[in-house]
Structure 1
């Protein structure tokens, strides 16, 4: 990360002005957007990685996005993530990514934290999107390593530093080697945190030894937030010292995940473990029998179809080129919902 005279407090420092996403006046980076002060990054609890509701023409369904937000907020979640992997972020057009962030921010209305993902192929695109999402009112940003060309750990310092220097809101590192094809080492995360470039990490490695390395490397960083996307072991990771769960199933059953997090926060580990066992028994939802689809597509199809059948969103449409949910998926979801009750 290059030297900078900029204030390293990413929650309120002054940075380069962001271009307005749709014309008009541009707020200064880090400034609170219209509608109230930004909501701080949660230090514990549940952030839901929202699906992106789409209309049959595959454009963003803002009305369904609003009802989805109400569905999860009413369960008491601490925040939402727009444009995470669960939101099909890498498959959406640039215009639809912007529409998704705008719809989410508008629906939340400063009642909870809004994190927005940066599924960029390179640093320049990540910086541009970071400024747009900040101007739209996102409270924090989630940044993975660049796609296509896996960088070295040294090059990742430059990548994360450039995005952090461009905005005035917190940046969270997204460690998702299954998609970015490069891991963020615990040492790298500790360096970025010490530099003031990142405020936390979303660990989607599903590797327990990596989680222990992250905990050890960042133990002395005040306020550093550790979030897990490993749905099978939320309770264990919270017990170890992680702070936040970011589970895809919380789109459908947010209350169950809120209960687990609250038990963990209270040190009620037997109760937390019981909720975790319930969650583990429900992950079969993802195994939808969608012909010609990958497991990732089946996941999207099952979660969206479950939300459609529950009346939360209007359509279960997936973005191109994913296979669309069919009657086999609908039947799988109906049976699953019948078991859930």
Structure 2
């Protein structure tokens, strides 16, 4: 399905359900897609951070894209991450996911090696030149160790290199600069600016953002769809109340014991535990080498769900 210009609304970064032996759980993935589509989301994004893309093999990545594309049957646009360290590796992923039916690709800046802004720009230009579908930039400095400069993003947008931005930087000032530039800069019409934050979707939409890509939308897609629709209707008070409920629910990402696991293991484990407790997926395991949640930590996730009215 063609990507709207701009892409708007709620675009969940779809979790990747796994079997106990860490293979892609295709039936659970299909059930998760139905869970999201039935909630009224506007597009799906596979192979992002919440999808555990960094932990999946290339074959597993292809299976995820092909499975979701086939099950969607053109009902919603499908974005696929092509996240990797270097331009040649990203180009391999672009070929793979577009062959599997992705309607757009999402790429970070190169990482591992230190990169100059001119090299980041060259990276995106090379990716766009070789991609048959629109390219979205993914600003994720916590993992990539490079912050995408607002002026660079807008320059690439004006040149037709980038179709949009998923901003997970936490830099609200830089995000606002991109939102403003997307409205006012010549040649940038149709550029989509999406927040990756679970906690400030109402604020981002108030600034003029086009939509959101929140990992917590896997767990409660209806809540994020409600925020989006309430903001578009101008009902900011009810949108704020819904956002505050989701902020409380987001507390589940901290259930993991920081003495034995990283924050990523805790957050992804919580999302999967919540989906398991809600009956959406069959197994809550995360990919190796992430440490799994304990039975007690899963119980704490259940308490967050109950408080939010989801159990």
**TM-score > 0.5 by shorter chain:** yes
| CA distance in 1 between partners of 2:297 and 2:26 (Å) | 24
Deviations for 1:227-275, whole angstroms, at most 9, x for unmatched residues?
Answer: 0012211111111110111111110100010000001112222221121
2:118 & 2:182 partners in 1: Cα distance? 18
Contact 2:52 2:287 in 1 (8 A): yes
Does residue 255 in structure 1 map to residue 219 in structure 2?
Answer: no
The answer for the alignment partner of 2:83 in structure 1 is 119
Measured in 1, the distance between the counterparts of 2:166 and 2:121 equals: 17
Q: CA deviation at 1:204?
A: 0.5
1:267 aligns with 2:237: no
| Cα distance, 1:43 vs structure 2 | 2.9
Partner of 1:64: 28
Matches of 2:200 and 2:285, distance apart in 1: 30
Instruction: Please give the per-residue CA displacement for 1:9-50, whole angstroms capped at 9, x wherever unaligned.
Output: xxxxxxxxxxxxxxxxxxxxxxxxxxxx54546632100011
Distance in 2, Cα, partners of 1:209 & 1:278:
25
Aligned residue among 136, 139, 143 for 2:107? 143
Q: What secondary structure is seen at the aligned counterpart in 2 of 1:120? A: coil
Q: 1:93 and 1:143, CA in 2 relative to 1: closer, same or farther beyond 3 A? A: same
Instruction: Name the structure 2 match of 1:202.
Output: 166
The answer for unaligned runs of 5 or more in structure 2 is none
Equivalences for residues 37-56 of structure 1 within 5 A: 37-40=1-4, 43-56=7-20
For the 8 Å contact 2:245–2:308, the answer to whether it is kept is no
1:303 maps to which of 256, 259, 271 = 271
* Alignment partners' CA distance in 2, 1:39 and 1:223: 11
- Structure 1 stretch displaced more, 209-218 or 169-178: 209-218
Mapped partners of 1:40, 1:186: distance in 2: 22
The 4+ residue runs of structure 1 with deviation greater than 4 A are none
Change in CA separation of 1:39 and 1:188 when aligned onto 2, cut-off 3 Å: closer
Aligned to 1:287: 254
CA–CA distance in 1 between the matches of 2:158 and 2:5?
18
Please give the TM-score of this superposition, normalised by the length of structure 1: 0.86
Q: Does 1:212 align with 2:176?
A: yes
By how many angstroms is 1:150 displaced? Answer: 3.0
> Residue 79 of structure 2: SS of its match in structure 1?
strand
For this pair of structures, how many residues does the alignment match? 305
Asked if residue 224 in structure 1 is aligned to residue 224 in structure 2, the reply is no
Q: How does 1:236-247 map to 2 (within 5 A)?
A: 236-247=203-214
- Judged with a 3 Å threshold, the aligned counterparts in structure 2 of structure 1 residues 215 and 337 are, in CA distance, closer, same or farther, namely closer
Equivalent position SS for 2:200: helix
Equivalent residue for 1:26?
A: none
- Three-state SS of the structure 2 residue aligned to 1:87 is coil
Query: 8 Å contact 1:301–1:329 — kept in the other structure?
Result: no
Q: Secondary structure at the match of 1:141?
A: strand
TM-score, normalised to structure 2's length?
0.95
* Residue of structure 2 equivalent to 1:30: none
Query: Aligned runs of 1:14-25 on 2, under 5 Å?
Result: none
Return the match for 1:277 from 244, 248, 252.
244
Q: Unaligned 5+ residue runs, structure 1?
A: 1-36
Query: 1:101 Cα deviation (Å)?
Result: 1.3
Residues 166-202 of structure 1, C-alpha deviations (whole Å, 9 max, x = no match): 1121110001111100011011101111121100100
- Tell me which residue corresponds to 2:59: 95
- 2:200 matched to 1:233? yes
Of the three residues 257, 266, 282, the one matched with 1:314 is: 282
1:333 is the counterpart of 2:301:
yes
**Range moving further from structure 2, 269-278 or 78-87:** 269-278
